[in-house]
């Protein structure tokens, strides 16, 4: 067995001990902090942007990295989860860390940590330490760190920071973070420290009101997102009765307070609502770091930089992608790993904007995501489908068959004329069912795990040619 696979086996073995998300007390960060000291404090001496929230964290983080790279800074990005390769979580200057560097650092971290029961470090703690040590070894100046779950006791909260970012907070991981939106907000806001500037994205009114009071008491300098990005008309071509977005050019209006709007043409992307919202937040971070640009050229360049940043599995749109096994060419594929009410609602809005309907929907929800909050957005998503295929994932977090059937049965009852609904024991089976009567477009939704597995079924060369 090679070194890399042995490392993955050790990490995956530790991950299996915590197969379901769980929270912990902030004091549990002591194990990671001790480990970082023994590693020589690889996190110190860098500038840090720390991001927490429910939706849009990874995209916002990647956009901030793009801005930092454009400004000439060596930058590390730490996110979660990954789609296909664990090294996706650790990126240096916009590229996934090399296998060689990952293995070198991981061996050192795992050896220094020792057995998990002695180190007090979780799977996520160790991955965080590996990321920080890799950034240190490769000489980054800035680190952009995405909190994994919550914020208060997340591994990334062991790191001193220079700027905090709170993306949109919504209902997710309620069994861990709390049953109501303010309980979840308290966990997310736990990354903010007194005196550290915090950029706050648009929030639900109740969350915005609570955050205003909480951040004032710390106190922390607050920078609400007040930059507006608005899309122009989507160029499209009719095909098969649906509108297929044209990715060649998008026009966006960008408005900073006190300045006239600038109209920016962005090449090679199909903008989603979430991308615009994340772009607004990333641009505000840039204002905090470097000031509001007074000249139109700089504002234009910043907008192009953030909107030119794409993340696989986050409302991604691909054309003419081919499945390895069957050779089936999918004319249009929408791939989104959003798995909570707000994320699925955003996907619905985007599909409406793109004019997509009568698609084949491949969907998978983990057991803890099948909540009453999901019924309304799922009803809208399924009601416009030509057919729906529910895919079971090979994980202990999958629901049992009876609960799964009952949940989707509730959704069916809300649709006057529900589309045909089938259940597949695997993604391969689901794709075979979809290919029996192919539709013009396929939408894959509900789980990052499903998105990652789907990517592994596609021919890479067609995926690259039809990229988002």
Write down all domains in the chain, each with its CATH number in brackets. Answer: 3-224 (3.40.1190.10), 228-269+294-307 (no CATH), 316-465 (3.90.190.20)
271 close to 230: Cβ distance less than 8 angstroms: no
Query: What is the mean pLDDT of the segment spanning 359-364?
Result: 97
Q: Are strands 222-224 and 198-200 parallel, antiparallel or unpaired?
A: parallel
The phi, psi pair for 140, rounded to 5°, reads -75, 155
- As a whole number of angstroms, the distance between CA 2 and CA 77 comes to 27
The answer to whether the beta carbons of residues 155 and 124 sit under 8 Å apart is yes
Distances (CA, A) of 88 to 95, 124, 184, 400: 8, 14, 27, 30
Beta strand pairing call for 163-166 and 47-52: parallel
pLDDT at 22: 54
Give Dmax over CA atoms of the chain in angstroms: 62
CA–CA separation, 188 vs 146, rounded Å?
Answer: 11
Preceding peptide of 219 cis, ω within 30°: yes
415: DSSP letter: S
Contact predicate 163/198, CB 8 Å: yes
Q: What angle do CA 147, 29, 154 make, to 5 degrees?
A: 15
Give the residue-averaged pLDDT of 339-365.
91
Q: Where are the alpha helices (DSSP H) in 23-71?
A: 30-38, 57-70
User: Do 248 and 267 touch, CB atoms closer than 8 A?
Assistant: yes
Range list of β-strands (E), 260-363 = 262-267, 316-322, 329-335, 359-363
Contact 101/138 with Cβ under 8 angstroms? yes
Residue 398 and residue 418: Cα distance in Å, rounded?
24
Of 140, 191, 139, 138, nearest to 169 by C-alpha is 191
Rounded-to-integer distance, Cα 202 and Cα 208, Å: 8
Which residues on neighbouring strands pair with residue 56, listed in sequence order? none
pLDDT at 250: 77
Residue 313 confidence (pLDDT): 85
Distance CA 149, CA 188 (A): 8
DSSP state of 323: B
Q: Which pLDDT score is estimated for 411?
A: 95
Please say if the pLDDT value at position 175 is more than 50.
Answer: yes
Q: Give yes or no for a cis peptide into 393 (omega within 30° of 0).
A: no
Spatial separation of the C-alpha atoms in residues 201 and 173, rounded to whole Å: 20
Question: What digits encode the pLDDT tens for the residues 70-84?
Answer: 999 999 999 998 999
CA distance 92 to 176: 31
Give pLDDT tens digits for 255-300: 999 999 999 988 756 677 788 999 999 999 999 999 999 899 999 9
What CA–CA distances, in Å, run from 306 to 59, 135, 203, 244, 338? 9, 22, 21, 24, 20
The token duo for 200 is 């706050």
3-state secondary structure of 275: helix
pLDDT at 467 over 80: no
Token pair recorded at residue 376: 């309304």
pLDDT one-digit tens code per residue, 93-115: 999 999 999 999 999 999 999 88
Query: pLDDT, tens digit, for every residue of 108-138?
Result: 999 999 887 677 888 999 999 999 999 999 9
Token pair 């696989």 in the structure block, residue: 312
Give how far Cα 129 sits from Cα of 97, 115, 416, Å: 14, 15, 52
Supply the pLDDT for residue 386: 96
The pLDDT assigned to 466 comes to 41
Kind of pairing between the strands at 242-245 and 236-239: antiparallel
Q: How far is CA 296 from CA 260, 300, 301, 329, in A?
A: 9, 6, 9, 43
User: Number of H helices and number of E strands within the chain?
Assistant: 17, 19
- Per-residue model confidence (pLDDT) at position 16: 54
* pLDDT tens digits, 441-454: 999 999 998 999 99
What pTM does this model have?
0.91
């Amino acid at each position: 067995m090679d070194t890399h696979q042995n490392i993955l086996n050790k990490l995956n073995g530790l991950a299996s001990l915590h197969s379901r998300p769980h929270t912990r007390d902030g004091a549990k960060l002591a194990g990671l902090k001790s480990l970082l000291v023994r590693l020589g404090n690889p996190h110190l001496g860098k500038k840090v942007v720390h991001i927490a929230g429910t939706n849009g964290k990874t995209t916002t983080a990647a956009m901030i990295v793009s801005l930092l790279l454009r400004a000439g800074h060596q930058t590390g990005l730490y996110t979660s989860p990954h789609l296909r390769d664990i090294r996706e979580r650790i990126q240096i200057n916009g590229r996934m860390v090399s296998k060689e560097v990952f293995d070198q650092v991981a061996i050192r971290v795992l050896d220094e940590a020792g057995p998990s029961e002695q180190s007090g470090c979780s799977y996520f703690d160790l991955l965080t330490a590996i990321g920080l040590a890799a950034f240190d070894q490769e000489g980054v100046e800035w680190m952009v760190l995405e909190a994994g779950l919550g914020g208060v006791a997340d591994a990334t909260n062991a790191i001193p920071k220079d700027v905090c970012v709170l993306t949109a907070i919504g209902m997710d991981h309620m069994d861990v973070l709390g049953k109501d939106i303010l309980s979840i907000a308290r966990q997310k806001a736990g990354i903010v420290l007194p005196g550290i500037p915090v950029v706050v994205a648009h929030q639900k009114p109740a969350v915005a009101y609570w955050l205003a009071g909480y951040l004032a008491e710390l106190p922390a300098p607050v920078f609400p997102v007040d930059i507006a990005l608005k899309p122009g008309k989507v160029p499209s071509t009719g095909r098969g009765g649906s509108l297929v977005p044209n990715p060649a050019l998008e026009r966006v209006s960008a408005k900073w307070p006190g300045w006239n709007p600038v109209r920016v043409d962005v090449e090679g992307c199909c903008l989603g609502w979430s991308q615009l919202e994340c772009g607004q937040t990333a641009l505000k971070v840039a204002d905090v770091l470097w000031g509001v640009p007074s000249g139109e050229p700089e504002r234009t360049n910043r907008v192009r930089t953030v909107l030119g940043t794409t993340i696989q599995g986050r409302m991604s749109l691909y054309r003419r992608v081919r499945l390895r096994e069957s050779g089936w060419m999918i004319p249009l594929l929408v791939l989104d790993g959003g798995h909570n009410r707000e994320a699925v609602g955003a996907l619905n809005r985007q599909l409406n904007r793109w004019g997509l309907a009568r698609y084949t929907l491949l969907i998978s929800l983990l057991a803890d995501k099948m909540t009453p909050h999901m019924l309304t957005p799922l009803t809208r998503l399924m009601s416009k489908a030509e057919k729906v295929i529910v895919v079971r994932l090979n994980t202990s977090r999958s629901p049992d068959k009876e609960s799964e059937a009952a949940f989707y049965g509730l959704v069916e009852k809300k649709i006057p004329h529900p589309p045909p609904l089938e259940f597949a024991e695997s993604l391969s089976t689901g794709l075979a069912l979809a290919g029996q009567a192919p539709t013009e477009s396929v939408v894959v939704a509900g789980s990052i795990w499903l998105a990652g597995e789907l990517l592994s079924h596609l021919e890479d060369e067609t995926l690259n040619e039809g990229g988002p």
